């Protein structure tokens, strides 16, 4: 094996990193514009280590670790990712990259490493397990063929809108909602519903400023961000991510206040976003949900989504001597 040269990634490397990640996992292309935006706007309190690995002067892999404030993470959880271009896939090289990244994360103070890969990535699965990572959770991935299901989706969206209206619930977009406190209210809803996502790695609070970066993303225009309103109170939201350069359109988030669950509101608001995607000519929409998130899995099934290979999440707890 040729020992790779690993260098820090600069902001101007974002497009290169997106290209490498796409070559490493072609079924989920990474958008260069969204990658650069994410690098330009780090979340408050978060620290990142990003690296490009080269062999023979050619970029072959992108590596990253990231973590929130250690003050909020007593077990020092750190997310780690290795993206190795499939054209250069080699078990020995892959293991080397993972070990190098582990050492880098440990040097930054990490004690618990969190990683994930696709169920259809045999080399990655084998490498992580060989390095002592333990399986923790499975995310289910679903695909909806809008070319085939579009007419049905539009009918169901209209019926759901009528049922919501009968309950006093208005379905609208963020662009059409002019409440002067709309962003603060939406941020509150986001923080409440994020906590209910099944998880292993702690879900840290998101500041309003960070939330506004998300609201302003070119992948989620305000007229494609759907809300369910009970008077002046947002009780549910759902929106799709539309990558501006490349990638699959997918559900970024769907969430409902606990006291409004069980009334079909989450399904109704998600249907509005799907019907809009039909009107925009989107051929396919994907979504993913934790295998323990029974309500959303049920919604996906009733909407006609079909299963695709999902994601396996892993955890590895570093020995104390790994701390630098």
For 142-153, how does the pLDDT look when each residue is reduced to its tens digit (9 = 90+)? 899 999 999 999
Among residues 151, 89, 100, the alpha carbon closest in space to that of 122 is found at 89
- The reported pLDDT for the residue numbered 173 is 97
| Six-digit token string for 308 | 């695709």
| Six-digit token string for 286 | 């994907």
Q: Where are the alpha helices (DSSP H) in 90-175?
A: 91-107, 122-130, 146-166
Tell me: pLDDT of 128 over 50: yes
Mean pLDDT in residue range 19-25: 98
Cα gap 318→57, rounded to integer Å? 32
Task: With beta carbons less than 8 A apart as the criterion, state whether 239 and 253 touch.
Answer: yes
Mean predicted lDDT score pLDDT of the chain: 92
pLDDT-derived band at 103 (thresholds 50, 70, 90) equals: very high
Q: For residue 282, is it left (φ>0), alpha (ψ between -120 and 50) or beta?
A: beta
pLDDT-derived band at 291 (thresholds 50, 70, 90) equals: very low
Judge whether 5-132 and 141-310 match in fold: yes
Please give the span between the terminal C-alpha atoms of the chain, in angstroms, as a whole number: 27
- Eight-state DSSP code of residue 11: G
Secondary structure (3-state) at 92: helix
- Eight-state DSSP code of residue 57: T
Classify domain 5-132 at the CATH superfamily level: Gcn5-related N-acetyltransferase (GNAT) (3.40.630.30)
- Angle, alpha carbons 113-119-121 (nearest 5°): 85
Cα gap 9→221, rounded to integer Å? 29
- The reported pLDDT for the residue numbered 324 is 40
Handedness of CA 275, 119, 245, 64 (dihedral sign): positive
Largest pairwise CA distance in the chain = 66
Q: Where are the domains of the chain?
A: 5-132, 141-310
What percent of the chain shows pLDDT beyond 90? Answer: 81
Burial 193-202 (b: 16+ CB within 10 A, else e): beeeeeeebe
Class of domain 141-310: alpha beta
For 193-204, how does the pLDDT look when each residue is reduced to its tens digit (9 = 90+)? 877 665 566 778
pLDDT-derived band at 50 (thresholds 50, 70, 90) equals: very high
Which of 54-68, 255-269, 283-297 is most confident? 54-68
Q: For residues 256 and 302, which has the higher predicted lDDT (pLDDT)?
A: 256
Mean pLDDT in residue range 308-314: 94
| Six-digit token string for 193 | 């519903």
Between β-strands 306-317 and 112-118, what pairing exists: parallel, antiparallel or unpaired?
antiparallel
What lies within 8 Å, CB to CB, of 102 at 6+ separation is 80, 113, 131, 316, 318, 322
């Amino acid at each position: 094996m040729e020992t790779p040269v690993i260098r820090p990634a600069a902001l101007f490397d974002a497009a290169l990193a997106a290209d490498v990640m796409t070559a490493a996992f072609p079924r989920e292309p990474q958008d260069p514009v969204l990658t650069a935006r994410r690098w330009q706007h780090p979340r408050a309190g978060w620290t990142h280590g990003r690296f490009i690995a080269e062999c023979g002067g050619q970029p072959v892999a992108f590596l990253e670790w990231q973590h929130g404030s250690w003050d909020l993470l007593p077990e020092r959880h750190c997310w780690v990712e290795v993206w190795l271009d499939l054209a250069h896939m080699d078990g020995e090289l892959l293991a080397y990259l993972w070990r190098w990244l582990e050492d880098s994360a440990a040097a930054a103070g990490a004690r618990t490493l969190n990683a994930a890969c696709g169920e259809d990535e045999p080399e990655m699965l084998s490498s992580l397990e060989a390095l002592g990572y333990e399986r923790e959770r499975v995310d289910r991935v679903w695909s909806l063929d809008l070319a085939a299901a579009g007419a049905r989706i539009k009918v169901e969206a209209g019926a759901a809108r009528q049922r919501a209206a009968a309950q006093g619930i208005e379905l609208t977009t963020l662009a059409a909602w002019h409440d002067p406190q709309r962003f603060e209210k939406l941020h509150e809803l986001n923080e409440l519903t994020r906590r209910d996502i099944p998880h292993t790695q702690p879900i840290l609070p998101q500041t309003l400023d960070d939330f506004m970066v998300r609201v302003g993303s070119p992948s989620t225009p305000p007229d494609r961000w759907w809300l369910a309103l009970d008077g002046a109170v947002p009780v549910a939201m759902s929106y799709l991510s539309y990558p501006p350069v490349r990638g699959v359109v997918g559900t970024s988030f769907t969430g409902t206040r606990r006291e409004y669950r069980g009334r079909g509101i989450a399904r109704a608001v998600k249907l509005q976003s799907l019907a809009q995607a039909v009107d925009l000519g989107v051929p396919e929409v994907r979504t993913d949900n934790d295998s323990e998130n029974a309500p959303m899995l049920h919604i996906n099934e009733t909407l006609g989504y079909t299963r695709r290979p999902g994601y396996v999440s892993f955890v590895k707890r570093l020995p104390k001597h790994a701390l630098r």
